[in-house]
Amino acid sequence: MNINKKFSVIIPTMWFSDKIKENLHRLNECEEVYEIILIDNNISLTPKYISNYQKIKHLPQKENIYVNPAWNLGVQKAKCQNICISNDDIIFNVNVFDFIKNHINLGVYGMSTNNYYCSDANLNYKVEEIKLRPWGWGCLFFIKKENWVPIHEDLKIACGDDWLIKHTKGGAHQIVNLNLNDDRVSVTSIRNEFSKIQKKDIEIWSQYLR
């Protein structure tokens, strides 16, 4: 098996979304997926069913390391050059892997805002270059491991996707016409306990842009 034609899928989770079980099932059954790197930031809620999925590489954390450090850790541990990073609260059509692997030699590829409102019957995917991050871009994105620029350790929850858009060689793009089965995204990061951290992240990021 040539694993560099496959994908390492990285999912940080605190188990607050009910969509993660179906997402894990779809990914485990997908031939394009070699491994699912599950960064477990809330081991008190870890479900027993994850042992049913042979592709899962479970990385339990003693404490919440937050999203951006989890992305960095997942890429570091990934065995494949093709990287997919997904929220735990969306479900997407896995045939996008076959499409995107022909595009990701350079750059980073995330979501179009319209992907949250399109029909699953529309499989005419295309990519468009972007300069600024659209809403929802970082909920699901793709990059080559060799092109990953580690997100600064000061950024914990927010602005990690902005960091990648600004620093990734080859520029940033959005994938259009990929339906994301969601009715509520960012179910973890919108919790009140994380609002102060996000505010600090945004302040730090604004300093980088000066």
Domain boundaries, the chain: 3-208
Burial of 130 (0-12, 13-18, 19+ CB in 10 A): middle
pLDDT tens by residue, 49-87: 999 999 999 999 999 999 999 999 999 999 999 999 999
The per-residue pLDDT for 189 is 52
Phi, psi of 193 (to 5 degrees): -65, -15
| Contact predicate 155/67, CB 8 Å | no
pLDDT tens by residue, 20-53: 999 999 999 999 999 999 999 999 999 999 999 9
Which runs of consecutive H residues, i.e. helices, occur in 13-65?
20-29
- Cα 22 to its chain centre, rounded Å, is 16
Which runs of consecutive H residues, i.e. helices, occur in the chain?
20-29, 67-77, 96-100, 160-167, 195-208
Range among 67-81, 119-133, 176-190 rated most confident: 67-81
pTM metric for this prediction? 0.93
Topology of the domain covering 3-208 = Spore Coat Polysaccharide Biosynthesis Protein SpsA; Chain A (3.90.550)
